[in-house]
Amino acid sequence: MTSDRRASNYYEVLGVRPDASNMDIISAYRQAKLAYRSDSIATYSLFDDAELNRIRDEIEQAYLTLSNPERRQVYDAELAAGHPGQAPHRRPEPPQVQAAEPSPAQSPAQAPDQTSVPGQDAGLAAQSQVPAGIRYRMATATVFSGELLREIREFKGVELAAISEHTKISRRYLQAIEDEDTGRLPEATYLKGYLKQYAAMIGLNPELVVSHYPPLQKQTPEND
């Protein structure tokens, strides 16, 4: 329970281990709902109402992600890459904790994490912090071009070979995704699947990337 210390880690929010089973997560969520329900006598004297509401939101958010196997997988990949908790419906929050302490450049949620989820590819976890420029572009991107994807991947220090190794997607297709080489890209259905896995591996939200990848946007009307 103590291996991971970042503030907004979903596993910590529910008080479960990173390798928790689905059952563990469901019962932890149930326990959390009980503990933080509005008439709970266990919590009101430690936290004020605003804080309690924030915690309740956090719990819902955590459960929404961890209870869904796909979302959880994506989240785990994000964690391993050091960028947890930035689902599309929840934009990165401003740092919350720095008041009395001199403010460091990054919020805890974005801190690089060496101790992260056990069993993850070491190459993925080894990345250091992403410069502010690229982070801003990631957060505000309306188009995930192949160019931008490659840039993000390189900033995160993830090799194409590592992605290929992990996802079993051929290097050729991965390269084509970054080159937006429509001649070598697979059919849209396959492309979406590959793109999702690729996005997850570099800590991006798969759905978001798929819906904003230029070749797919061009293809969709033609295919219908």
Partner 1 sequence: MPLNPHASDEAAVAGAGGAHIWALASGKGGVGKSIIAANLGLALSRMGKRVVLVDLDLGAANLHTCLGMANPRLTLSDFIAGKQPINDYVQAVPNTLLGLISGASDKLDIANLKHFQKQKILRHLRHIDADYVILDLGAGTNFNTLDFFVQARRGILAVIPDPTSIENTYRFLKCALTRRLQGAPEQTRKLIAQVLGTHREENRKIRTLAALIEAMGQSHPDQAELLRRELGQQSLHLVVNQVLEPGDTELGPSMAMACAKYFGQLPDYLGHLNHDRQIVAAMRQRRPFLTAYPQSRVAIHLEHMAASLLDQDQRA
Q: From the CB of residue 30, how many other CB atoms can be counted at a distance below 10 Å?
A: 11
Contacts of 71 (CB under 8 A, 6+ apart): 64, 65, 87
Q: Tell me how far, at minimum, the Cβ of 75 lies from partner 1, in Å.
A: 20
The C-alpha atoms of residue 64 and residue 116 are separated, in whole angstroms, by: 21
Q: Tell me how far, at minimum, the Cβ of 97 lies from partner 1, in Å.
A: 4
Check residue 23 for interaction with partner 1 (CB under 8 A).
no
What are all long-range contacts of 175-183, with beta carbons under 8 Å and residues at least 24 apart? 177/146, 177/149, 178/146, 178/147, 178/149, 178/150, 178/153, 179/146, 180/145, 180/146, 180/147, 180/214, 180/215, 182/215, 182/218
The C-alpha atoms of residue 25 and residue 74 are separated, in whole angstroms, by: 16
Cβ proximity to partner 1, 12 vs 178, nearer residue = 12
Stretch that binds partner 1, among 72-80, 106-114, 181-189, 206-214 (CB under 8 A): 106-114
Q: What is the radius of gyration, based on Cα positions, of the chain?
A: 19
Cβ proximity to partner 1, 94 vs 221, nearer residue = 94
**Residue 32: in which H helix or E strand, if any?**
helix 22-35
HSE-up of residue 157 (Cα within 13 Å, Cβ side): 15
Q: Tell me how far, at minimum, the Cβ of 178 lies from partner 1, in Å.
A: 34
Cβ proximity to partner 1, 59 vs 201, nearer residue = 59
Check residue 184 for interaction with partner 1 (CB under 8 A).
no
CA 77 and chain centroid, separation: 6
What part of residues 31-50 is at the interface with partner 1 (CB under 8 A)?
A: 31-32, 34-36, 40-43, 45-48
Q: Which of 19, 51, 93, 165 binds partner 1 (CB under 8 A)?
A: 51
Check residue 7 for interaction with partner 1 (CB under 8 A).
yes
Check residue 219 for interaction with partner 1 (CB under 8 A).
no
Q: Tell me how far, at minimum, the Cβ of 62 lies from partner 1, in Å.
A: 12
Stretch that binds partner 1, among 4-12, 166-174, 189-197, 202-210 (CB under 8 A): 4-12
Q: Tell me how far, at minimum, the Cβ of 102 lies from partner 1, in Å.
A: 6
What residues make contact with partner 1 under the rule CB under 8 A? 1-2, 5-7, 15, 31-32, 34-36, 40-43, 45-48, 51, 55, 96-102, 104, 106, 108, 111
